[in-house]
Amino acid sequence: MSHPPMVRLILARHAEAEGTREFRFNGSSDVALTEHGTRQALLLADALPSFGIAAVYTSPLRRALATAEAIATKVRVPVQVAPDLREQSYGSWERLTAEEARLRDPKRFAAWTTRTNIAPPAGESLIMLRRRVVASVAGIAERHPGETVAVVSHVGPVKVMLCAALGLPLSGVRRIWSDPASYCVVDWRIADDGTQRSVVRAVNVTSHLAEPPRWLSLR
């Protein structure tokens, strides 16, 4: 039986943006990269040409778009915007830190941290996020059989894609991290019977950046 061609996905998180260092829920807020983030985006772009990237897709939010443009310039392909790659909406918690959101809405916050079907007020749940992100990436993969594609997005979409590729329950996103300007490598294939056959090759690669990730100093 023949197998459909594998698509290699380079899942990149955007570089440092306003509020990233404070771990703010930027969500659907259209914040820009910091000066440091702009430098990170260039370092990320320098790390990817050896993959032979044939296409670059991005979230429409400025921080992802700027990161994608750096990559696309390096690999000499156009940027294609995919609206469903945008970050999870945090509703009324947008731009808050986790502690600020907890203090504002303690019961809702406690439920949100343990249940994937609970959304921030006027925001999106993890289930809603996964539905649109996985569908978007699956559509991208169908358009690029046998090719390598860079998908530039946000921490939430990267984590739900890793859960999908690994066959993990959605609650697994809380055990995965993705640093700014990092990338993951996933070989994505949908078999003839409709089942997903994916292999995760690399997770949260940051060796191309000029500084160690912040979590190395956290205890």
3-state DSSP percent of the chain in helix, strand and coil, to 5: 40, 20, 40
pLDDT of the residue at 151: 98
Q: Which domains are assigned to the chain?
A: 7-214 (3.40.50.1240)
For CA atoms 134, 139, 144, 150, the dihedral sign is negative
Average pLDDT, the chain: 94
The residues, any chain, with a CB within 8 Å of residue 219's CB and separated by 6 or more, are none
Residue 25 binned pLDDT confidence (cut-offs 50, 70, 90): very high
Give the Cα separation of 52 and 144 in Å (integer).
Answer: 13
Residue 208 annotated among the catalytic residues of the structure: no
pLDDT of residue 174: 92
HSE toward the beta carbon, residue 111, CA cutoff 13 A: 9
Catalytic residue among 3, 36, 144, 154: 154
Model confidence at 2, in pLDDT bands (50, 70, 90)?
low
User: Residues 181-191: pLDDT tens digits?
Assistant: 999 999 998 77
Cβ-count burial 103-129 (b if 16+ within 10 Å, e if not): eebeebbeebeeebebbbeebbbbeeb
The mean-pLDDT minimum among 44-58, 60-74, 134-148, 187-201 falls in 187-201
pLDDT of 165 strictly over 90: yes
Q: Report pLDDT for 1.
A: 47
Tell me the pLDDT tens digit for each residue of 138-162.
999 999 999 999 999 999 999 999 9
Integer-rounded Cα Rg, in Å, for the chain is 17
Identify the active-site residue in 14, 36, 144, 208: 14
Q: CA 150, CA 41: separation in Å to the nearest integer? A: 13
Confidence of residue 219 (pLDDT cuts 50, 70, 90): low
DSSP letter, residue 1: -
Structure-block tokens of residue 71: 């990559």
Is the model's pLDDT at 86 over the cut of 80?
yes
The answer to whether residues 36 and 44 touch, using CB atoms and an 8 Å cutoff, is: no
Report the alpha-carbon distance of residue 174 to residue 70 in Å, rounded. 29
